[in-house]
Amino acid sequence: MSLKRYEQIRQFLHFVDNSQQNGDRYFKVRPILKAVRRNCLKIEEEHRYSIDEMMVPYKGTRAGNRRQYLAKKPKKWGFKMFVRAGVSGCVYDFVPYAGEDTFRYHSFTEHENTLGVGAQVVIALCQSIKHKPAIVYFDNFFSSLELINLLRGEYGIFSLGTIRANRLRGCQEKLPSDKDLLKKGRGSSKQVVCNKNKLSVVKWHDNKSVILAGSYVDSFPMETITRYSKETKSKIDIPCPQIVKHYNSHMGGVDLCDMLISLYRTNYKTKRWYMALFSQVLDICVNDAWIMYRKDSARKFRNINCTQEKAGNPTLFSKDEEMAFIKYIQILSNWGFPLDSTDLRVFAQKYLNKLGKTVYSLKDNMPGVDWARNFMIRHKAEISNRNASNITSVRAKISPAIIDEFFSHYDNTIEGVSPDCIINYYPASVLTSEAAVTAGLISKMDMLFDSVNSDSSDLRRGKIHATNLKETTPHLQLFKEMKLFFNSLKFLGL
């Protein structure tokens, strides 16, 4: 698009018929504000929200008293909006500040009208929360004990926020002064709880004192945080109430959204004041869409909760399958049958064939050497490649004395036991081939393990055998381990 074409489109860009002015101070952009807000409310919401002010940068002089000045904001001049955002920075609702005309499209009860502008902002933004109970965080501009009690009782919403000392309704008399907390040292705190209204007020001293009030959390359990001490010139741990940890962890959603928008803000100069608001809602849409994409996309990159996932194609087997492989490989290794990388590839091939799964990128459905090497690297903490010393060291632990002791006790153990419960007994026929012997052995092991409860010294089938094995509890542990061993053989297709 050429520059002249762009300027022509921007010149004729309007959102409402000027003849339809109804006294709304934002009527110039009200249709676009309503449309964007309606779509924000359709987003799948989170469980925790923060409510705070957002500045729309504007230094022009044509906006009248719509333009506000906030000294503590990075962009000090502009339009003020009250925003409800999630911890992720996604905007779910907003209200542009317009003085007495701010709540033109909201309604309140008589009691809510007496709480002040700050409380009405919180109530207006909480009325659109669909999934309750939810938790809302706000600062001392909005908070009061009446508001916190109202949100819990009337709306089913828990809340937490910093609060000013002149809004404590007598609680400040039960709290220590700033000087008293300073004498007790950094990290000292005091708590006042109202069980009737289910409110807690906590005063905590860090660099200076701060008061917080909430309806779902109090000081306990106490935690510790790290701070730099000028006296010792080192970092120290100081006590921190639980309510402070919750507030610091979840309050920054609106500030995060402001930061993300400022990175790629849509800036252009114009004499029409409402174009700054149009630019801001466009940036809000882009920010929300990007956060939703990060939540839903299957691509591997840093996600919302800041956990790093490795980039690349997915592995041949799932994480649960690989952990099952490791479990059975370790059991075989403990019994003196460790697997090497070739055995691992053959086992993977048999496992895929058993599932009836064909991987067309593999020759004969067998994973390659690279897969086996990467598998060993991924799980190097649990398994290692086999070498001769592994087998030697395992078998060297079995001395002749141990073997003699086992068989002497084994004779007493099987005395009186019927032949159908002996491991190597196969009633169908005489087994000659090695494969048949293995099959028969595993088959009868299943029969034995079905008969014996490895967690008890009793037998499931027939009291006749209970007297013979009731004193062989140490060998029941052996049966349990042997069952794992034979199940490993069956699972690996060996």
pTM score, whole prediction = 0.61
- Tell me the backbone φ, ψ of residue 385, rounded to 5 degrees: -70, 145
Per-residue confidence band for 313, with pLDDT thresholds at 50, 70 and 90: low
Average pLDDT over residues 350-369: 83
How many C-beta atoms lie closer than 10 Å to residue 362's C-beta? 16
Residues 6+ apart with CB under 8 A from 330: 382, 383
β-pair partners for 192: 201
Half-sphere exposure of 154 (CA within 13 A, CB side): 13
β pairing state of 209-214 and 199-205: antiparallel
Per-residue confidence band for 481, with pLDDT thresholds at 50, 70 and 90: low
Query: What is the DSSP secondary-structure string of 139-185?
Result: -TTT--HHHHHHHHHHS-EEEEEE--GGGSTTGGGTSPPHHHHHHH-
Report the chain's mean pLDDT, rounded to a whole number. 80
Report pLDDT for 468: 41
| Pairwise CA distance, residues 170 & 298, whole Å | 53
Q: Is 122 helix (H, G, I), strand (E, B) or coil?
A: helix
Residues 6+ apart with CB under 8 A from 293: none
Q: DSSP H helical segments within 227-368, as ranges?
A: 242-250, 253-263, 274-296, 319-334, 341-355
| Pairwise CA distance, residues 262 & 73, whole Å | 13
Query: Which has more pLDDT, 33 or 423?
Result: 33
Query: Which has more pLDDT, 482 or 295?
Result: 295
Average pLDDT over residues 129-151: 94
Average pLDDT over residues 115-125: 95
Look at residue 372 and tell me whether its pLDDT is greater than 90.
no
Look at residue 425 and tell me whether its pLDDT is greater than 50.
no
| Region of 29 on the Ramachandran plot (φ > 0 left; ψ -120 to 50 alpha; else beta) | alpha
Report pLDDT for 24: 87
Half-sphere exposure of 257 (CA within 13 A, CB side): 35
Report pLDDT for 443: 46
Domain residue limits, the chain: 3-159+231-296, 320-392, 420-492
3-state SS record for 16-83: CCHHHCCCCCCCCCHHHHHHHHHHHCCCCCCCEEEEEEEEEECCCCCCHHHEEECCCCCCCEEEEEEE
Burial of 316 (0-12, 13-18, 19+ CB in 10 A): middle
Residues 161/138, Cβ–Cβ less than 8 Å: yes
177-231 pLDDT, tens digit per residue, is 999 999 998 999 999 999 888 899 999 999 999 999 999 999 988 999 999 988 8
Structure tokens that stand for 446 in this block:
């299943």
Per-residue confidence band for 83, with pLDDT thresholds at 50, 70 and 90: very high
Report pLDDT for 459: 36
244-302 pLDDT, tens digit per residue, is 999 999 999 999 999 999 999 988 778 899 999 999 999 999 999 999 988 877 454 55
Q: Is 209 helix (H, G, I), strand (E, B) or coil?
A: strand
Residues 481/454, Cβ–Cβ less than 8 Å: no
Q: Which of 258-262, 339-343, 372-376, 440-444 has the lowest mean pLDDT?
A: 440-444
Report pLDDT for 240: 94
Query: Which has more pLDDT, 341 or 98?
Result: 98
Selection from 363, 371, 384, 379 nearest residue 314 by Cα: 371
Average pLDDT over residues 16-32: 88
| Pairwise CA distance, residues 370 & 348, whole Å | 13
Look at residue 93 and tell me whether its pLDDT is greater than 70.
yes
Q: Which of 242-246, 443-447, 485-489 has the lowest mean pLDDT?
A: 443-447
380-396 pLDDT, tens digit per residue, is 777 766 544 444 454 55
Look at residue 340 and tell me whether its pLDDT is greater than 70.
yes
Report pLDDT for 408: 72
β-pair partners for 160: 137, 214
Report pLDDT for 458: 39
Is the C-alpha dihedral spanning 269, 275, 280, 282 positive or negative? negative
Selection from 91, 63, 89 nearest residue 77 by Cα: 63
Query: Which has more pLDDT, 482 or 156?
Result: 156
Structure tokens that stand for 23 in this block:
């006294």
Query: What is the DSSP secondary-structure string of 337-368?
Result: ----HHHHHHHHHHHHHHHT---TTSGGG---
Structure tokens that stand for 297 in this block:
């996309």
Residues 6+ apart with CB under 8 A from 161: 137, 138, 139, 140, 142, 143, 148, 212, 213, 214, 247
* Count of helix runs (H) and strand runs (E) in the chain: 17, 11
Judge if the upstream peptide bond of residue 176 is cis by omega within 30 degrees of 0.
no
Q: How many angstroms separate the first and last alpha carbons of the chain?
A: 68
| Pairwise CA distance, residues 332 & 292, whole Å | 46
Selection from 252, 250, 257 nearest residue 56 by Cα: 257
Average pLDDT over residues 29-37: 94
Q: Which of 158-162, 370-374, 452-456 has the lowest mean pLDDT?
A: 452-456
Report pLDDT for 113: 92
Report pLDDT for 332: 74
| Pairwise CA distance, residues 491 & 277, whole Å | 64
Report pLDDT for 479: 61
